[in-house]
Amino acid sequence: MSEETGLLYGLATGIGSMPHLNINSALQLIRENLPFGPHWPQLPQRGKAETFVRQYLNPLIMLEMVETEKGETPFFYDYKDDWLEKMEKFYHLYLECCHNADKGADISFFSFPRDTASGFYKFLDEQWGTLSGKPIFLKGQVSGPLTVGLQVNSGDQSAAFYRDDLRDIINKSIALNARFQVRLLKQHFSLPVVIFIDEPSLLAYGHSSYLSLSREQITGSIEEVIQAVKDEGALCGVHCCSGVDWSILFQLPLDVVSFDAYSYMDSMLVYPKEMNNFLDRGGCLGWGLVPTSDAIDYENEFSLQERFWVGIRRLSRMGVNHDLLVKQFILTPSCGVGTLSLSQSEKVYRTTFQLQKLLWDASN
């Protein structure tokens, strides 16, 4: 756990996706309501290229290893005669980046082009470091390797995550994208950076339809991305927006475990021992208290503040250290707001800002 994790305590950030077509409008909403921890906006409404999984496939598309245009599900060309040559080229590029990391190797091949991440590049043009209310940290995000691996197929149309070779390619491609984000954010702003790995598909673990998913494969894949982020000197979190086996994440070397505290608080009550160990190491719980559903129409900062304290009391009764719970938290919406209306997304961000102020005042 990084000593810098403490700089996150009590602050707020966003998860990623927003419904805006206008990038400036999205950034203004972030600037006004997440002044301490702004994130770059994912803008899937601007086109297929900016959607959750597609955004991170560009290196594999460039190498002609993945097809995204035929059908709804991307798939690997692992059945073609030149597949081994393409794998060799991928690993050559990957190793070149890793071996020369301390020499400032160019890893832009593993980045995303501007037309797949317009919000990221516009974020870099902002003057975050010169604002009167200077941010304390900046946030980026990547789609998790499990989620990508279950939403991209092999050539035989089975999920790529089940194949050791394809899973490794996905892990390494995402890990280098995370490195790229950290480097550019630090170069532009000289501020601490945190990267969230978004893993909604962690919910699949333990379900009957995914019995062949192993805990070791999942933790190994996520940890490879975590280590890449850490090697760049940044903080790392994982966000899941459903009730999952949280013990998987609490055992990993994460700075933040982010959960939907509005709808899935009960799922956290099962792991008091693991949560205590995580908090004892300095870990930060990401409370997704602000709903990203129609519930935002009738909730406000005061009703959500009460939910926070109810959650603290419930966890405390299960044996989780109360003092650490009220100190080591970061506030977020429960998930991205990309599927909401513009007015609802605006309320989510305003409520997050107002709730953060309430909780900050109460704990200081």
Residues 42 and 198: their CA atoms lie apart, in Å, by: 12
Residue 147 and residue 236: Cα distance in Å, rounded? 17
Please, what sign has the CA dihedral across residues 83, 227, 115, 152? positive
Q: Which amino acid is at 72?
A: E
- 183: Cβ contacts below 8 Å, ≥ 6 apart: 107, 232
Torsion angle defined by CA atoms of residues 16, 168, 246 and 53, in that order, rounded to the nearest 10 degrees: 30
Domain CATH for 25: 3.20.20.210
β-bridge partners, 127: none
* Residues 253/299, Cβ–Cβ less than 8 Å: no
Which pLDDT score is estimated for 364?
A: 67
Annotate 80-105 with DSSP letters as a single string: STTHHHHHHHHHHHHHHHHHTGGGT-
In this predicted structure, what is the pLDDT of residue 125? Answer: 92
d(CA 204, CA 208): 9
Q: Are 320 and 276 in contact (CB under 8 A)?
A: yes
The number of folded domains in the chain is 1
- Are 237 and 254 contacting, i.e. CB atoms less than 8 angstroms apart? yes
Residue appearing with tokens 């020369």:
100
Query: Which DSSP category does 212 fall into?
Result: T
Predicted TM-score of the model (pTM): 0.95
pLDDT tens series, the chain, 364 aa:
666 889 999 999 999 999 999 999 999 999 999 999 999 999 999 988 888 888 999 999 999 999 988 778 899 999 999 999 999 999 999 998 887 655 556 788 899 988 899 999 999 998 876 666 789 999 999 999 999 999 999 989 999 999 999 999 999 999 999 999 999 999 988 899 999 999 999 998 877 677 688 999 999 999 999 999 999 999 999 999 888 999 999 999 999 999 999 999 999 999 999 999 999 999 999 999 999 999 999 999 999 999 999 999 999 999 999 999 999 999 999 999 999 999 999 999 999 999 999 998 777 6
**Residues 271, 246 contacting (CB under 8 angstroms):** yes
Confirm if 272 and 261 have CB atoms less than 8 A apart. Answer: no
Map tokens 């003092």 to a residue: 323
Write out the H or E segment, with its range, that includes residue 180: helix 164-189
Which pLDDT score, from 0 to 100, does residue 22 have?
Answer: 95
Pick from 213, 209, 199, 289: which is nearest to 252 by CA? 199
